[in-house]
Structure 1
């Protein structure tokens, strides 16, 4: 794994565990055995690092929708990739939002969610031209709801909820 990928992986974990404000780039560099200069060579600021994480995660999730697989399969791949990458970072907008210094992370995460909804709206508009916005919101609700139930309520497995929710959702979209 190259240095940039190692930094992104460690930052994703640290942001999710400690929160954005509590994460210090100096500590991240030390944890990875890097100098501050080496870390700053790849990312000039913590903000730039969070943006890179959000963009990389969104790109991975979007790639899951490509290909000739059945809609249900592509949507599940998207949901699992999104949950793995973006969801823990987007949780900064709510779970860590009460801490001082988290406002920047909250704003960046919310903007990433708005961009992703716009992307999903365009995707679903190709399948159901007059219903893209509503389908994007419903699909996002399934993805976020599954993650939130697993994380905050307990007794649920997000992947199980995603499989069932997307199965029902995809059937409804295909019947249109």
Structure 2
């Protein structure tokens, strides 16, 4: 191998390895944040535990659209109307129906009402900016923490969730 070929090979190796290192660092930080959220919400696979911890009421019926389903939204009224965002305390827990008539935890949702936000910047969590949902006049972010979603971890709808 001549020196020109060797330098080209080294250059390609450096160029192609630098990006994954940066992405790995970002993925590592995101994974650590998601792990904290998993630890904070793991007990809520039991709906009884969620209710005892403050997510006391089912806010919505099972929601679905042509893009997929969301499920039932269980609300924590103690934090629902505030403008605070806490990564380990989502305003809503999202449950999908099971084949046996039960509910299973599939996602969490963060929500800040537009009027509560005022002139503050749009909230961000996990490197994601919340998006505006005009139906509820709020900024929202879903995290499909407990159910894979081919539309993405932060997508609103999940094609693998069905309300039928």
More strand by share: 2
- TM-score (normalizing by structure 2): 0.27
| TM-score (normalised: structure 1) | 0.25
Computing the radius of gyration from Cα coordinates, the structure with the larger value is: 2
